[in-house]
Structure 1
Amino acid sequence: MSATVTERPTAPPSPAPTARSSRFQRWLSSWRVSLKMARRDALRYKGRSALVLVMVALPVALIVGGLSFASTSMRSIAERLDASVGSGQAIIYSISPEKVIQGIDGQSQWGYNEDDSDASRKAKPIPGFTEDGTTAERTAALDALIPGKVVSVQTGEVRWVNGTKFPRALVMYVDPTANLGPKLTLTSGRWPTTSSEVVVTPLGIHEGMPTSGTLGVRLGTETTPLTIVGTAKVLDPDFGMPHLMSTAPLPAAEGSVWSTNWIITGDPVTWSEVRRLNDYGLALTSRYVVEHPPAASELPGEAWDEQNNFDNEAKLMAAMFGAVLFLVTALLVGPAFAVSAGRQRRSLALAASNGAEVRQLRRSVLGTALVLGVLAAVVGAVVGALAVAAGTAIWFRMRPWSTLFGPLDIPIVPSLIVLICAILAALTAAMIPALRLGRLDIVGVMKGQNVSPPHNRLLPLIGVVLFALGAVGVFVAVTSTSTAAGVAGVFGLVTGAVCLIPLLLVWAGRLAGRFPVAIRMATRDAARQRHRAAPTVAALMAGSALLATFSIALESNTQFEASHYEPRNIAGEGRIGVAPNDLTGTTEQIRSIAPTWRLVPMPYIGAEWQGNTAPSAEPWVSLMTPGCSVQESLPQFDPPDGMVEPTANRCQQVGNQGIYNAGRSQITVMPAAEIVRRFQLDKADGATIAKDGVLVYDAKLIPDGKARLLTGSFRYDERSGKSTLVSEPREIEVAAVPMPANATNRGAASSSLGMVLSTEFTQQHKIPTVINEFQVFDTRGAITRADQKKVQEALGDAGYMEVERGYERPDKWLMLGVLGIAGFLLVVVTLISTALALAEQQADMGTLAAVGATKGTRRRFAAAQAATVAVIGGVLGIAIGLVAGVAIAYPTTTRWWDQSGVEHTVDPTVGIPLIPMAMILLGVPLVAALIAALSIRRAPHVTRRGN
């Protein structure tokens, strides 16, 4: 028998050795593999990846959306050019008797330098220009001074007939043949050619005006028909769009014109030309200057200082927000990457046992953060920007005349900074579990043992020091506008609180010894598994800190404002402001809407203007202080430099003109019957007022029950800036009554009111008055909000009405929106963090079920652990919020000014809002516990351990 020997096949030859790759190539190749693995892992665990995306994308979307909203809302000078100058080159906003110091925008003006003499302050005269000249004469004078064509643009208001109502309408008067481009766009028909023709804008059509035929306009008690010749889009930079446009006001409507500007067409107006025209008292905005701004060295000192202060504040806010975004995002996504590292722990241990280096293991974890962080940041930025874009488009489509938004403006550089901060935050959050891989216990992980090492006893001390330094840094930042201190303070607060988390978890485990078994096991497990519990605590701390900071700052400011609030009127009563040439139409309309209201005229001492024509003389009245002569009591018509103290000139205490003491200097006029009702005078004092008596705030000014008044008239010269007496002062001695002590607290008198004259008194002594305001009260009681809304809608934008209802925050809805966003973010953080923590606890739940734990026990275990970490996170978040909230409130709650202009310095106010604090300390733990309890499955897989 023979044997056949089969030869073993030879191995293929080994490939020829290649040149050793460079270190950079190996590094790049390693990252390429890590990113590929991270992409596959993200697609494999879609649920976990979606949660990470939400945690990163949500704050990015909110911040980018907020930046885009703010940038779109704040229309820049360049974005206002089409509405202000159209296709022109510049617009003149005002003409002053003194030289103008302005910035790039003509609406930003400053007073003269105090070191300048009166002669150097005086503006050069414009040949042919007078304040009482007609619009055509003044335009011609400017046209001769300025190269190019000058076009006048006037704005006024009229009342138009809408059935039985006479609503207000804004009217722009401009020559349409001037070809002002986008400022005037005809959409149908033709332009008006006379003052009796008008075009209607989309705003007028929205409010019910016809687009053809005639439109009745109420001028006094007469109705004048205007012919509608077309429709057009007419832009204005301040109020968006008027209701109507015509060439010039009707003669009877000239007194209703309250604004006149001039647009310069022709050649560009350079900065040197702007400064030349400033010497003539002209304040203007030039298209060329806006598009080619001058160097900072060419700006006036005041403009440079203001811009520099604005830049410093903007840098501080940007740095603070950037630091907050970075830290909050890092803390929010911490649980996600902690779970990711937990899921990968066994596979990473296997890789390490097979020779993988620690840096390769870390790159595997960081690769996941890079893939998900970049994707989430981009998605969040796009969602935030698209939300603002969609909202802006919808708003403009519904209300094209609105000035709430300007052109869509998404700030690219700030948005990129937000993206970078979010990506770095995600990498930072993943870096924490990645750094632990250097101490990876391969044998323990393979056996399923995963217990955190003993906590570092030095770490809590470092945390306390960092927290204290952070608190100091935040206070330094808000008091001295220090960017570096602000960033360092935010990092110190948050980092110090994070360093305290392990110790608080250990303490919670020790304190739970007397609790039921489920709670005891849960808290001790959280203390043992700090690598899992700490990121969840940090995430909840971040959301709690945001909510606590905003709510404490808001509550502190609200309590401060409320405690120093001075009522402007009697509770439930109001005031209505109207144009002096429209008294009849306004009163008729209000009485038809609210027949139970009583309108009491509240005139002021003064003379009426006729359009732009100043009165020949204006009246003045002063109260003579006992012991002062007539000459000492004359008003100081030329204002001093700055405000003087109330005791600086004891002989000039109360008057309607030339009184510059920051005290109770104002004079109010009202009917005698209203004085008695409003100030609740007794019968004797009421009889004194009815007999032409006066009401004085201080009994020391009327020691014998008599008041000595001085009255006369003066004229103010616009060109010289000086006032001169027109008539000799006249002395009047009348009976006087001291004002009741509770008048200011009741709102019957402001803290700046010094004397009250009756209407009958001014009529008897021939003191001119003008009515532009009504005191209004309802005979049935307090004015209701429904009636106020009806009257306000009838008045429109040109009139105003205010009703005293106690302190109400002017920014109430904005603050509620901010708190709502912070609360929403906290709830989302709670939901996702709890879900991520429970995802890593599934093996523990299986172990408990295997040893006989019932579903109820497991639910109590999960709920107790979720509540424990939520309480710890809430306590740390409130600690951060207290420091940051007080730091924000401190500069705004130490000073206040009363209605007379006197500044008061008080101790800062700190308010603790109960509802947000209860939400953090009770609501969030309850929500987390409920989610954890409901997520426990009825029949867990008890045979599967680990991964």
Structure 2
Amino acid sequence: MSVLTGWRAALRMARRDAMRSKGRSALVVAMIAVPVLGVTALDVTYRSVTPTAAEKLTASMGSSDALFSDRRSGPIEQLPNAQMYSSVDENAPLDEDAPEIDISTTFPKGSRAISLQSAPASVTTKYGITSTDIREIRTSDPLARGMVELVRGAYPHGTNEMAATEPFLKSTGLDVGSTTTVRNSGQKYRITGVVEQPDALKTEALFADPGAVIAPWKAKSEHDKKVTPPNTQPVEWLVKGPEGAGVTWPDVMRANKSGILVTSRQVVLDPPPDSEVPLLGRKDYSPIPSSPTELSTALVTVTALAVLEIVLLAGPAFAVGARRSRRQLGLLGTCGGDRRHVRAVVLGGGLVLGGIGAVTGVVVGLGLTTVFRTTIEEWAGHRFVSLALRPTELLAIAVIGLITGLLAAFAPALVASRQSVLESLTGRRGVRRSSRVLPIVGACVLVIGTGVAVYGGTSGNSTLVSGGSVVAEL
């Protein structure tokens, strides 16, 4: 009998045995499928919640090509990702009172732009007064898509309308059609719609068109000294470059000469070579070291213990199955089968049930993640652009489930293969006494494993923690 033929027969016998004992088979499948389901859901959720570079750019600058902001520190040099910049003149102080330059002169020719500015303010609610962030941006403009999205109602237009986020409305008792007053300026506004920021769903904020809130507030503070002027953030601009050209690295460096920091979608996604980045050639430049990503001690330990726990729980179920099938295994021996074939039949049960559990867990995990997608997004505070499926990772999760089933059947397979044909056919096992040494060995291993895990935890060695915990559990 060839190896392939032997395993094919073993798998057929294992499948028939699984169908005969549906309750035990369902229990084993469930024990393997549930953790696979959980890990699948966590993997898909984590990958979906973690934004890509392109998704981060869309969340921060909408559908525009670049975000321009005045640093008010004279000419600067920046990295392509705009995460770091430095003044050309190191001794130049930051002058927040310096007059704003006409930032539009730094935009590429043929560009279109909208402004973005925010300020904290005190507003009236259904229950009294609250403080919130008011953001002036033309939310109805296509450049804001991806950064601010309309949920219901209408975008605000003019100087007496606002849009609000759902968390703001829930906390204040207001709704679409309600009126709120900015107490700092005394001006009333009607809430026309509900908007959301896809990357920050829990944000409480109000949105108005540019000039609707901050300008009248400033005007009133200039005439009435009792009114505190708004504490505004520097104006930023969402810029759409010339059609088909975007905002290039030369455009960024030209804006840097005027002290403007530019986050360009094109430059971030396709950065220029280091030789073309002036900041990288400076002697005083020191990059921020990036710490290597490592799996946490808790994650490694929990994963190892979960797999081992399934093996230890499912193992007795396979042992019971092997006991009930001992006559069938004995007949296999009378037909010329040896210990190798008996082990293959029992291991085939682990392969069949492990495979079913793994596939079921992955499929149900994907299905539940899809069904509860909205709930997960609200919990995470972040919209999924799409469900991020990594076939390699899902396959690895399924393989782990399959291996778990095989490991659970390994010990029962060894025990079954050691039984003689006569014992298997008659059902007699002989007189067996429990070992007196095994409990002592087990207690010693428990103490040693616990000690190793504790030492690993105090020294920060995740390998010792995982290994010690596994040994202690065994």
State which of 457, 461, 467 in structure 2 corresponds to 1:888.
457
- 1:24-423 aligned at under 5 Å gives the runs 26-92=2-68, 95=71, 97=73, 102=79, 104=81, 106=82, 108-109=83-84, 131-132=96-97, 137=101, 139-143=103-107, 148-163=111-126, 165-176=128-139, 178-180=141-143, 181-186=145-150, 187-189=152-154, 191-194=156-159, 196-206=160-170, 207-212=172-177, 214-219=179-184, 223-228=186-191, 230-235=192-197, 237=199, 241=203, 242-248=205-211, 249-252=214-217, 255-258=230-233, 260-266=235-241, 267-269=245-247, 284-289=262-267, 291-292=269-270, 305-306=289-290, 309-311=291-293, 313-314=294-295, 326-394=307-375, 403=381, 406-407=384-385, 408-423=387-402
- 1:880-916 deviation per Cα after TM superposition (whole angstroms, max 9, x unaligned): 4553354234349xxxxxxxxxxxxxxxxx9xxxxxx
Counterpart position of 2:419:
440
Shift of the 120–223 alpha-carbon distance from structure 1 to 2, 3 Å rule, reads: closer
1:450 partner amino acid:
R
- 1:590-629 deviation per Cα after TM superposition (whole angstroms, max 9, x unaligned): xxxxxxxxxxxxxxxxxxxxxxxxxxxxxxxxxxxxxxxx
Distance, in Å, in 2 between the alignment partners of 1:100 and 1:888 is: 45
Distance, in Å, in 2 between the alignment partners of 1:354 and 1:433 is: 22
Task: Check whether the contact 2:358–2:398 (CA below 8 A) recurs between aligned residues.
Answer: yes
Distance, in Å, in 2 between the alignment partners of 1:451 and 1:134 is: 98
- Secondary structure of 1:264 counterpart: strand
User: Mind listing any 5+ residue stretches in structure 1 that lack a counterpart?
Assistant: 1-22, 113-117, 456-501, 509-871, 893-909, 911-919, 922-947
1:434 partner amino acid:
A
- 1:507-656 aligned at under 5 Å gives the runs 507=440
- 1:821-864 deviation per Cα after TM superposition (whole angstroms, max 9, x unaligned): xxxxxxxxxxxxxxxxxxxxxxxxxxxxxxxxxxxxxxxxxxxx
Distance, in Å, in 1 between the alignment partners of 2:308 and 2:78 is: 44
Shift of the 357–395 alpha-carbon distance from structure 1 to 2, 3 Å rule, reads: closer
Task: Check whether the contact 1:199–1:246 (CA below 8 A) recurs between aligned residues.
Answer: no
- 1:679-728 deviation per Cα after TM superposition (whole angstroms, max 9, x unaligned): xxxxxxxxxxxxxxxxxxxxxxxxxxxxxxxxxxxxxxxxxxxxxxxxxx
Q: Structure 1 residue 421: deviation in Å?
A: 1.6
2:364 partner amino acid:
V
- Secondary structure of 1:333 counterpart: helix
- 1:372-429 deviation per Cα after TM superposition (whole angstroms, max 9, x unaligned): 1011112223334444444431355xx59x7256444455433322221221222133
- Secondary structure of 2:62 counterpart: coil
Task: Check whether the contact 2:69–2:234 (CA below 8 A) recurs between aligned residues.
Answer: no
State which of 383, 397, 406 in structure 2 corresponds to 1:427.
406
Shift of the 190–275 alpha-carbon distance from structure 1 to 2, 3 Å rule, reads: closer
Shift of the 885–315 alpha-carbon distance from structure 1 to 2, 3 Å rule, reads: closer
Q: Structure 1 residue 166: deviation in Å?
A: 0.8
Task: Check whether the contact 2:137–2:208 (CA below 8 A) recurs between aligned residues.
Answer: yes
Distance, in Å, in 1 between the alignment partners of 2:400 and 2:311 is: 9
Q: Structure 1 residue 265: deviation in Å?
A: 1.5
TM-score where L is the length of structure 2 = 0.74
Q: Structure 1 residue 54: deviation in Å?
A: 2.3
**Cα-Cα RMSD:** 4.5
- 1:861-880 aligned at under 5 Å gives the runs 880=449
Counterpart position of 2:221:
none
Q: Structure 1 residue 52: deviation in Å?
A: 0.8
Q: Structure 1 residue 347: deviation in Å?
A: 1.6
- Secondary structure of 2:325 counterpart: helix
- Secondary structure of 1:243 counterpart: strand
Distance, in Å, in 2 between the alignment partners of 1:49 and 1:198 is: 60
- Secondary structure of 2:186 counterpart: strand
Distance, in Å, in 2 between the alignment partners of 1:142 and 1:215 is: 38
Shift of the 54–173 alpha-carbon distance from structure 1 to 2, 3 Å rule, reads: same
- 1:230-287 deviation per Cα after TM superposition (whole angstroms, max 9, x unaligned): 3252527456553333323234266232464332322334567667767876555443
Q: Structure 1 residue 66: deviation in Å?
A: 3.0
TM-score where L is the length of structure 1 = 0.40
- Secondary structure of 1:256 counterpart: coil
Distance, in Å, in 2 between the alignment partners of 1:331 and 1:297 is: 58
Shift of the 223–282 alpha-carbon distance from structure 1 to 2, 3 Å rule, reads: closer
Distance, in Å, in 2 between the alignment partners of 1:121 and 1:449 is: 90
1:156 partner amino acid:
A
Task: Check whether the contact 2:248–2:264 (CA below 8 A) recurs between aligned residues.
Answer: yes
Task: Check whether the contact 1:159–1:169 (CA below 8 A) recurs between aligned residues.
Answer: yes
Larger radius of gyration: 1
Q: Structure 1 residue 83: deviation in Å?
A: 2.6
1:422 partner amino acid:
G
Task: Check whether the contact 2:354–2:402 (CA below 8 A) recurs between aligned residues.
Answer: yes
Q: Which has the higher contact order (CA 8 A, sep 6+)?
A: 2
Q: Structure 1 residue 40: deviation in Å?
A: 1.9
Identity of aligned residues (%): 26
- Secondary structure of 1:157 counterpart: strand
Counterpart position of 1:582:
none
- 1:295-330 deviation per Cα after TM superposition (whole angstroms, max 9, x unaligned): 999997976951xx434x259998777755654543
Alignment length (residue pairs): 437
Q: Structure 1 residue 185: deviation in Å?
A: 4.2
Task: Check whether the contact 1:203–1:243 (CA below 8 A) recurs between aligned residues.
Answer: no
- Secondary structure of 1:416 counterpart: helix
- 1:722-737 aligned at under 5 Å gives the runs none
Shift of the 260–880 alpha-carbon distance from structure 1 to 2, 3 Å rule, reads: farther
Distance, in Å, in 2 between the alignment partners of 1:245 and 1:876 is: 67
Shift of the 384–141 alpha-carbon distance from structure 1 to 2, 3 Å rule, reads: same
Task: Check whether the contact 2:326–2:425 (CA below 8 A) recurs between aligned residues.
Answer: no
Task: Check whether the contact 1:53–1:373 (CA below 8 A) recurs between aligned residues.
Answer: yes
Task: Check whether the contact 1:160–1:218 (CA below 8 A) recurs between aligned residues.
Answer: yes
Q: Structure 1 residue 218: deviation in Å?
A: 0.8
- Secondary structure of 1:183 counterpart: coil
Shift of the 255–152 alpha-carbon distance from structure 1 to 2, 3 Å rule, reads: same
Task: Check whether the contact 2:64–2:240 (CA below 8 A) recurs between aligned residues.
Answer: yes
